Amino acid sequence: MKRRRPRPAPRRRTTGPWTEAHVHRLFWRAGFGARPDEAAEWAKRGRAATLRWVLEGGPQGAALVGPAPSADGKPLDPVNEWAHDGLWWLDRMVRSQRPLVEKMTLFWHDHFATNDQDTPLMLRQNRTLRRHALGSFPKLLRALTLDPAMQLFLSLPNSDKDAPNENFARELMELFTLGVGYTERDIREAARALTGFRARWTDDGFGGIYYDRERHDRGFKRIFGQRGRFDWRDVLRLVVDHPRHAPFLTTKLWEFFVAGPPSRATVRRLSAVYRASGHRIEPVVAEILDHPALYRSLDAPDMVKSPIVFVAGSLRTNGLPVSAQSLTWLLDGMGQRPFDPPSVAGWDWGPAWMSSNSMRTRFDWGNRLIEDDLLGVKTGSTQPPASPAEALEQALAATGRPWISGVTRSHLLEMATRFFDDLGPRTRPQRRSERADMLQRSLRLILLAGPDAQLH
Amino acid sequence: MRADHISVRASWGITAAAVAVAAGGCLPAGAGAAGTAVGVAEREFRISLYRATVAPGTVRFNVTNFGEDAHDLAVLTPRGRLLAISPEIRAGRRHTLTVRLRRPGAYRLVCTKLDHPARGMRATLRVRRPRR
């Protein structure tokens, strides 16, 4: 008796009211957070309009809006100055009017993790990832297979018919497209099919990738049970057509946006959408962003912000520009420097971000933010608050109104209540004012870098 | 001492004394952000320059060793005299070499380790006056 294939689950959409909390959740997961005025505006416009803007963008396209970036007062030179490449990309995350495109570029940067290659090649790869961020996966895969940084990273140009190098074929199946469902023989045979690429080097450096038919193995290969004189194009087609590919990729996409694994029915649904769309990314992401699971526990965020999202988000939600080279080293300390994933497997996401050293560096970033010229308090500028609630309100208003839990709120109010306890009735007004400054700095630091600020 | 006036004949086996003299003609590493930055990548056995041409003046070579072996970076005048050389840069490390390139011409950049230049660790930076 023929086994029936399980039917994909019907589409599940978010229903009910659309509030600022929904907007904040969506903007953090699909981007780098929302300013309070953005959250209010999109809550008013409704779910459909908000999702449309996130997925398709508005009349401004991918324009960069806001103050231009700099590194310690000078314009960025992402090619020639160390670490400016990361600042350049961070600026796009902070100012782009297509934050989802930047978020997906980050997803692909992790998925097709490449490191230790020449900066111009890494920047070129970054542009490729952005161009295909929400488009056709086969086109993205083809572009990355031909991408010089990727080719050099995984030794594809050194692979010829006399000594096929298995690096790329192995990562193609294990990390890029399948995860499981292939054999060592499939890898070896795919490596043969992928032979023929060469790198051209001159006295001026890298001169490009080219294809040399003479170095390609034109013999028969057997991959996933199919036999043919396969070349690199055939390998890419075979992995995308493999039954494990759609569940592998859609699950990974889901877990980028939603805490917790998808149900089997959800994977079937997302895989069906992916295949029906001709292997396009945008319809899958649209389903995920509209899924009720994304909006679960709005009052208790359950995903850890990655360091890049944490830093870009704190700048974006407060309207601050990228302005210091030290940002790159701070991101390094937090464990996620752009253009420098630890290996071809990318970063470990989730709670793994919250090492003790990383958390200390996140507080360093908070301290940097509350310096006078950013979100800080000039000494002697704060009047003692009329009430603890007023002090907290003032701090929230100054930091882009980040989410805090009810427990944190009550702790902060208690701190504000006791902050002046040791000052007697005869304390000089100036000392009271300085204490009020200190309270504001403390509240703002906790709002910007405390435990709640690590989640979205 | 002006770096241009150091008369050390370039050779692939530059002595430690020559290195010390040449280094004396360099501006201190990390001397602010003055001058034109030129990104340089070194690996076995290539040198990639991220900028092919600069105007006469101070140039900061921001060198990254992407390779597995230790390398260095020497800057030679168009006539082949050693102008400046970095200390040894270990695998995965970086170094900034700041040099004043006063005259137009084709300056050679090489790694002086063993036979590295012969195996391909050489590049050319052109210094040209900007067109008016």
Smallest CA–CA distance from B126 into chain A, residue = A204
CB contact under 8 A, B37 and A203: no
Nearest beta carbon to residue B123 from set A82, A118, A203: A203
Q: Among all residues of chain A, which has the CA nearest to that of B121?
A: A203
Both A120 and A239 in one domain: the answer is yes
Interchain CB distance below 8 Å, B120 and A77: no
Q: How far apart are alpha carbons A347 and A265 in whole angstroms?
A: 28
Report yes or no on A393 lying in a domain.
Answer: yes
* Whether residue A432 sits in one domain with residue A284: no
Q: Would you say residue A175 lies in a domain? A: yes
pLDDT beyond 70 at A365: yes
Contacts A72 to B, Cβ<8 Å: 33
Residue A41 lies in a domain: no
Closest chain B CA to residue A118: B41
B20 pLDDT band, cuts 50/70/90, is very low
CA triplet A193, A194, A196: central angle to 5 degrees? 105
Q: Give contacts of B 6-25 with A, CB under 8 A.
A: none
Question: Which residues in chain B have Cβ-Cβ distances shorter than 8 Å to A77?
Answer: 37
Whether A203 and B64 lie within 8 Å, measured CB to CB: no
Amino acid making up residue A428? R
pLDDT at A136: 98
Interchain contact A75–B (C-beta under 8 A)? no
Cβ of A118 and B66 within 8 Å? yes
Domains, in order of start, for chain B? 3-127 (2.60.40.420)
Domain presence at residue A205: yes
Contacts of A206 in chain B (CB under 8 A): 46, 48
Residue A395 and residue A255 share a domain = no
Question: How far is residue A137 CA from its own chain's centroid?
Answer: 18
What's the mean pLDDT in A67-96? Answer: 96
The answer, yes or no, to whether residue B116 has pLDDT greater than 60, is yes
Q: Within a domain: residue A93?
A: no
Query: Which of A232, A262, A295 lies at the terminal end of a domain, its last residue?
Result: A295
User: What's the total number of domains in chain A?
Assistant: 2
Asked if A79's CB is within 8 angstroms of B51's CB, the reply is yes
Judged by a CB distance cut-off of 8 A, whether residue B64 touches chain A is yes
Instruction: Using DSSP bridges, classify how beta strands B53-54 and B122-127 pair: parallel, antiparallel or unpaired.
Output: parallel
Residue in chain B lying closest to A205 (CA): B48
B59 closest CA partner among B38, B73, B39, B80: B38
Is A303 within a domain?
no
Q: Is the pLDDT of residue A10 over 80?
A: no
Which chain B residues are Cβ-neighbours of A205 within 8 angstroms? 41, 46-49, 123
Range of the domain at A198: 98-295
Report pLDDT for A4. Answer: 61
Q: In the structure, what pLDDT confidence band is assigned to residue B26 with cuts at 50, 70 and 90?
A: very low
The pLDDT value recorded for residue B34 is: 80
Percent of chain A at pLDDT exceeding 70: 98
Q: Which whole number is the average pLDDT over A79-83?
A: 95
pLDDT over 50 (residue B1): no
- The model's pLDDT over A11-46, given as tens digits with 9 standing for 90+, comes to 777 778 999 999 999 999 999 999 999 999 999 999
**N residues, chain A:** 456
d(CA A275, CA A270): 9
Of B39, B94, B123, the CB nearest to A204: B123
Per-residue confidence band for A325, with pLDDT thresholds at 50, 70 and 90: confident
User: Region A348-376: what's the mean pLDDT?
Assistant: 90
Residue A431 within a domain: yes
Closest partner residue to A81 (CB to CB) among B41, B49, B62 is B62
Element (H, E) at A336: none
pLDDT band for position A3 (cuts 50, 70, 90): low
Return residues 247-286 of A near B (CB < 8 Å). Answer: none
By DSSP bridging, strand B82-85 and strand B122-127 are unpaired
With a cut of 60, say whether residue B25 has pLDDT above it: no
Banded pLDDT at A2 (limits 50, 70, 90): low
Whether the CB of A204 is below 8 Å from some CB of chain B: the reply is yes
Closest to B46 (Cβ–Cβ): which among A72, A77, A205? A205
Percent of chain B surpassing pLDDT 90: 72
How would residue A424 be classed by pLDDT, with cut points 50, 70 and 90? confident
Among the candidates A280, A295, A310, a domain finishes at: A295
Say what the pTM is. Answer: 0.91
Chain B contact probe: residue of A70, A72, A79, A80 with most B CBs at under 10 A: A80
* B78 Cα to chain A: minimum distance (Å): 15
B94 CB within 8 Å of a chain A CB: yes
Q: Which tokens sit at B7?
A: 């008369």
Per-residue confidence (pLDDT) for residue B33, from 0 to 100: 60
Average pLDDT on A251-273 reads 97
Q: Residue A204: pLDDT band by 50, 70, 90 thresholds?
A: confident
Neighboring chain A residues of B46 at a CB cutoff of 8 Å: 201, 205-206
In this structure, are residues A234 and A227 in contact, taking their beta carbons and an 8 Å threshold? Answer: no
Q: Can you give the pLDDT at residue A314?
A: 96
Question: Residue A374: its pLDDT value, please?
Answer: 82
- Residue A105 pLDDT exceeds 80: yes
Tens digit of each residue's pLDDT (9 = 90 or more) over A130-178 = 999 999 999 999 999 999 999 999 999 989 999 999 999 999 999 999 9
| Closest residue of chain B to A121, computed from CA coordinates | B50
Question: Of A295, A327, A359, which residue is a domain's last?
Answer: A295
Distances (CA, A) of A291 to A10, A127, A245, A412: 11, 29, 22, 34
For residue A66, name the pLDDT band (cuts at 50, 70, 90). Answer: very high
Q: Is the pLDDT of residue A416 over 50?
A: yes
The answer to whether residue A40 sits within a structural domain is no
The pLDDT tens digits for A372-390 are 678 888 887 788 888 999 9
pLDDT of residue A265: 96
Average pLDDT value for chain A: 94
Instruction: Return the closest-CA partner of residue A92 out of A66, A111, A118.
Output: A66
